[in-house]
Amino acid sequence: MEAVTAQLHRLLLVIVALAAFPLVVHGHVLDEYLQSTLVVIEPGDIRLKINLTPGIEIADKVISQIDRNGDETVSSDEATAYAEILKRDLTVGLDGRDTQLRLTASGMPELAELRTGHGIIQMEFSLTPGSFSGGIHQLTFENRHFDSLGVYLFNAARSPSASIRIVRQNRNANQSRGEIGFAYDFPRSLSQQTTGIFAFIAVALVGMLAVLWRITRTPTISTGSLSTGKPLVAER
């Protein structure tokens, strides 16, 4: 009986291991290019933080777009050129208008690390939206980079500014396209400061009007009464 119980226990362990194995394999995709985009929205700046991780089987395809001269090193010019390739494959709109992206940061691992399937290419782009009007705004995003191999993630980060609130997010099935709806609320401190400025201006205007009124009401002294040629003497 104990031998049968032991065999059943071993069989159960084998079944559990076989069931878990596909999940482990699926968690580390070898032939896909994982591209994760995190959007950070602030009143005067919108940043796209993009992490790109090529799988082992397609790493050389990505590296061929980076290391153009094949010397197994990535120069700053080659890293910048690859960032331009990525930027051309991105489309970002704000409130129905196209925007221009600007590369603000980048990080490129060693090519040997990229070939392991764990190396992460980091790119950050920003756009300057100008001043927001109060209310709801919409940012749209599309990533077409290596679209035949790409696996995409798209998300909005919680804004560091209390004036920005993420109100909705929509994505297509593979997250290569998405929309972020956000609200901009004018800071209270700004409203209070503006109120104080207007109050100061109003008080100053009232004071100036009062001075002008007194000047116009003060009688003028005729210069004829001072033409005697005698010096003025204070009365005792």
Query: What would the pLDDT profile of 196-227 be if each residue is shown by its tens digit?
Result: 555 556 555 555 655 565 556 555 444 444 34
Query: What would the pLDDT profile of 83-113 be if each residue is shown by its tens digit?
Result: 999 999 999 999 999 999 999 999 999 999 9
Work out the percent of the chain whose per-residue pLDDT is above 70: 67
Domain assignment present for 98: yes
Domain assignment present for 216: no
Is 90 within 8 Å of 98 (Cβ atoms)? no
Domain assignment present for 162: yes
Domain assignment present for 33: yes
What is the structure's pLDDT at 186? Answer: 76
Tokens 């002294």 found at: 221
Domain assignment present for 223: no
Pairing of strands 135-143, 177-184: antiparallel
Q: pTM value?
A: 0.68
Domain that holds residue 151: 26-184
Structurally, the chain folds into a number of domains equal to 1
What is the structure's pLDDT at 132? Answer: 79
Residues 161-187: what's their mean pLDDT? 95
Residues 117-126: what's their mean pLDDT? 97
What is the structure's pLDDT at 19? Answer: 43
Distances (CA, A) of 211 to 119, 164, 198, 203: 74, 46, 20, 13
Domain assignment present for 189: no
- Residue 63 backbone zone (phi > 0: left; psi -120 to 50: alpha; other: beta): alpha
Domain assignment present for 85: yes
